[in-house]
Copies of this chain bind each other. A is one copy, B any other.
Amino acid sequence: MSRSVDWSLFDNPAPLINMASRSFARLGDRQVKPLGFAIGQMPVVYLLRDGGSMSQKQLATLAKIEQPSMAQMLSRMERDGLIQRSPDPADGRSSLISLTRGAMAKIPKVREVMNAGNRQAFDDFSKAEITMLVDLLRRLNSNLDRLLAEENPGEPRS
């Protein structure tokens, strides 16, 4: 009677993707937490890694998360001494965000552990298989973006 109970629950792409996403997050958090970072902060670190600065809006757009999520994350990063804000001389509403020297100094180690973790996760994958996976995921994401944009009466275009 419990024949198909826990079978097809993880046979579809969506739950598998959700599962992988959570596992990556847990694993990544373990890797970068000793360095004082969280996994969700990686896009910000990446975007500001060469000492540049940009507005909260830019960061949210490039990292593809909503502005409130970015605002919340930046306030935690500021609290933890990872970023600093300086008023934008050209626009009184916005401030320019950059990494602190302490955060910059830790970037090499961050790259290192992240790369190591990635290698392990794709241990038995051939280069072709990784390429294939990335390609399929990119197509899937573009489909999903389209669906989200379509059914969202919000912003048809800019």
Measured CB to CB, the residues of A under 8 A from B are 5-6, 9-28, 30, 43, 46-47, 62-64, 117-118, 120-125, 129-130, 132-134, 136-141, 143-145, 147-148, 151
Classify the secondary structure of A's interface with B: helix
* Min CB–CB distance A132 → chain B (angstroms): 7
In the complex, are the beta carbons of B145 and A23 less than 8 A apart? yes
Residue of B with least CB distance to A134: B13
In the complex, are the beta carbons of A137 and B16 less than 8 A apart? yes
Q: Given A16-B141, A26-B148, A125-B140, 20 more contacts at CB 8 Å?
A: A9-B62, A10-B64, A11-B134, A13-B133, A13-B137, A16-B134, A17-B24, A19-B64, A20-B140, A20-B141, A21-B21, A23-B141, A24-B144, A117-B147, A120-B143, A121-B144, A121-B147, A129-B136, A133-B136, A133-B137
Copies in the complex: 2
Contacts of A144 in B (CB 8 A): 20, 23-24, 27, 121
In the complex, are the beta carbons of A21 and B17 less than 8 A apart? yes
Contacts of A9 in B (CB 8 A): 43, 46-47, 62-63
12 CB-based A-B contacts, threshold 8 Å: A5-B62, A6-B62, A9-B47, A13-B130, A19-B141, A23-B141, A23-B148, A26-B148, A27-B151, A132-B132, A133-B140, A136-B136
